[in-house]
Amino acid sequence: MRVAVFDLDGTLADTAADLIAAANGALAEAGYGSPLDRLAHRAEAFAGGRAMLRAGLAAHALADAEAEVTRAYPRLLELYRDGIDRETRLYPGVEAAFDRLQAADWRLAVCTNKPLALAETLLARLGVRGRFEAVLGADSLSVRKPDPLHLLETIARSGGAPERAVLVGDTVTDREAARAAGVPCVLVTFGPEGAAVARMEPAALLDAYPDLPAMLERLVPARPIPT
């Protein structure tokens, strides 16, 4: 059975605006204003909540900025949970690509560094949770991407094997996880780094979701039916 594993933020959906709004809210409540810009800080948004808080606190000469990040992080998660799909949408063509992949007997899964409860909530709100055989988040195991076990366990829980799987992602975290797991990696060019992800030399670059099914067929061809 072939398995297509997807990252979530920046790969399946553009979550940056809602993530940055939550970070700005947590920072404002802590007395630091709303320093994050939804365009300038997209990369930090896709790097996680703590990365956004660090970026927001960078202009302040704090003796222990990391302690402030730790204090603000739980509130960021609360705010994000409450506004998780205000502006977040799937990238164009995602569901049609899923239709074609599932018609060709691909199983679909999600391996994300987003906390599992938030990933489950967002996928349900976006109407696609039922598409996936498995969803693993940052707290599903004792490790997370780029540790290959996170990806390998996602594949295993989907009923697949690494030699018949592909990871679709958007950052070096995905590329390194796939490399360590021995799994081909497709990187999208519409994520936070754009076409610059080509420097990571993935197995393929995805410019738009309508191209994905044929791309995956080339990377992991269907096995011929015995005669």
Q: Which of 82, 115, 130 is the last residue of a domain?
A: 82
45 and 145: one domain?
no
CA dihedral defined by 93, 111, 213, 195, rounded to 10 degrees? 70
Closest CA to 131 of 168, 160, 100, 169: 100
Backbone φ and ψ for 72, nearest 5 degrees, come out as -80, -20
Catalytic positions, written as ranges: 7
Q: What is the pLDDT of residue 63?
A: 85
Let me know if residue 199 belongs to a domain. Answer: yes
Task: Clarify whether residues 92 and 193 are in a common domain.
Answer: yes
Model confidence band, residue 47 (pLDDT cutoffs 50, 70, 90): confident
Say if residue 43's pLDDT is above 90. no
Q: Of the candidates 218, 202, 173, which has an alpha carbon nearest to the alpha carbon of residue 2?
A: 218
Choosing from 65, 82, 99, the residue where a domain stops is 82
- Residue 223: pLDDT band with limits 50, 70, 90: confident
> Is 70 exceeded by the pLDDT of residue 1?
yes
Helices (H), the chain: 16-29, 42-47, 49-57, 65-82, 94-103, 116-125, 148-157, 172-181, 212-219
- pLDDT of 224 > 80? The answer is no
> Average per-residue pLDDT in the chain?
95
Residue 129 DSSP one-character state: G
65-75: average pLDDT: 95
- Final residue before a domain boundary, out of 66, 82, 98: 82
| C-alpha to C-alpha distance for 11 and 185, rounded to whole angstroms | 12
Is 103 within the bounds of a domain? yes
- pLDDT tier for residue 46 given thresholds of 50, 70 and 90: confident
**Does residue 36 share a domain with residue 78?**
yes
Task: Answer whether 155's CB lies under 8 Å from 171's CB.
Answer: no
Number of domains in the chain: 2
pLDDT reported for residue 227: 60
Is 227 a member of any domain? no
Q: Are residues 153 and 189 in the same domain?
A: yes
- Find the domain containing 148 and state its range: 2-14+88-219
Asked if residue 51 belongs to a domain, the reply is: yes
Determine the distance from the C-alpha atom of residue 75 to the mean position of all C-alpha atoms in its chain, rounded to a whole number.
21
65/53 Cα distance (integer angstroms): 9
Say if 226 falls within a structural domain: no
